[in-house]
């Protein structure tokens, strides 16, 4: 029996130059969200994954640590959500599983975290979380966001993780709608998509 012993994620070919050419600073929640939304839109435009983007930044310096886009369909990995990719790359860049070990960090995501990504947030060490589109926006186009506690935002706040919802929500939701109109894959076990 041959056992798979390695799993690698490769970001799309367009991503590095896209981020390098990004014209805006990342000082405000809106500026940070514009980049996360732009990543989600480019991912749709290039057909390199689902309509979700995320970034991790140092809160005080506004330094970009990592970016992520949804790679579920291209990597054939259900865990390759934009938040999971951005968190993983940020931890790899930091050389530490705890993104708060040296400085406060923020996760900015184009859509409210699904159940899996919500679970990863407290373990990642980020100090704050910002999202654009919400659960209803994602589910309106067919995505299954999973089961989260009704008080999930308060549970993060109780852990000291500050949250901010609906930042540029309309722009973020528009990417989801564009993806659905483009007939992008709506991937979850109940959707009948089996690869």
Catalytic residues: 83
| CA-to-CA dists, residue 50 to 56, 63, 95, 130, 138, angstroms | 19, 26, 28, 19, 11
- Distance (Å, whole) CA 115 – CA 16: 28
Residue 115 to residue 67: CA distance in whole angstroms: 20
* Distance separating alpha carbons of residues 24 and 36, to the nearest angstrom: 12
């Amino acid at each position: 029996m041959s056992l798979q012993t390695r799993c690698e994620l490769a970001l799309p070919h367009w991503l590095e130059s896209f981020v390098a050419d990004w014209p805006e600073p990342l000082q405000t929640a809106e500026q940070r969200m514009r980049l996360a939304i732009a990543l989600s839109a480019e991912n749709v435009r290039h057909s390199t994954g689902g309509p979700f983007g995320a970034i991790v930044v140092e809160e005080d310096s506004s330094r970009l640590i990592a970016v992520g886009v949804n790679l579920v369909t291209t990597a054939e990995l259900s865990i390759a959500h934009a938040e999971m990719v951005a968190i993983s790359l940020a931890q790899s860049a930091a050389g530490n599983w705890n993104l708060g070990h040296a400085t406060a960090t923020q996760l900015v995501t184009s859509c409210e975290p699904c159940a899996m990504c919500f679970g990863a947030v407290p373990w990642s060490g980020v100090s704050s979380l910002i999202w654009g589109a919400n659960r209803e926006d994602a589910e309106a186009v067919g995505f299954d966001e999973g089961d989260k506690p009704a008080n999930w935002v308060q549970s993060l706040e109780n852990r000291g993780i500050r949250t901010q919802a609906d930042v540029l929500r309309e722009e973020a939701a528009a990417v989801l709608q564009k993806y659905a109109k483009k007939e992008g894959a709506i991937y979850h076990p109940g959707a009948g998509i089996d690869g």
